[in-house]
A = this chain, B = another copy of it.
């Protein structure tokens, strides 16, 4: 089979690709040029057979007896994920969480750029976070359209989550990352990803009481 004969790729595969990419980029920085699935498995904690199987969903990128050329594999994964070109995204909520996201180092490397930040707190509007000036919520639709933004991050207080989500979706955003604990609804055709830090914390508590050894979660 040859590349991009993409059938139905399991969620799990897509979730692991960024982990591979992360390690591969590190290796490349260290000057390593080739890696075997065994070694990559060691570094990511993923079974080598699974790594090979994951990759075959998209083609065959390795050399038998040799391994994978890191440069090639990085490019391929970036292409699969779409991180081989720039993505602008909008951040709603300029609080601590929003600032943390906007200031995150690793973004650039993956072509991810916050190019618009919105807040409804007049003390924040006009301030800068990095290079970006915080705009009023009133400008959300216009700015998103002008910049043709497809990705939105919701980092607002819970009570505003659904409203903000609705506005982002209506303004043409296709992927929404929800950093609030609220279960928000999105229209058909919009991909929603929820990250609730508290829920993550909670679930790890379980391993505190029952100490069934190491659980790398």
Contact = CB atoms under 8 A, between A and B. Distances in A.
Interface of A: 6, 11, 14-15, 17-19, 21-23, 43-45, 80-83, 87, 95-97, 99-101, 103-107, 110, 112, 150-151, 157-158, 174-175, 177, 181, 183, 186, 188-211, 213-217
Given A174-B208, A191-B207, 13 more contacts: A18-B200, A18-B203, A19-B199, A22-B199, A44-B183, A80-B206, A87-B208, A95-B100, A96-B100, A110-B198, A112-B201, A175-B205, A193-B204
A195 B42 CA distance: 19
A175 B14 contact: no
Q: Kindly report how many copies of this chain are found in the complex they form together.
A: 2
A173 to B, nearest CB: 10
A205 B82 contact: yes
Contacts of A14: 203, 206
A103 B80 CA distance: 37
B81 A205 contact: yes
A183 to B, nearest CB: 7
Nearest to A11: B217
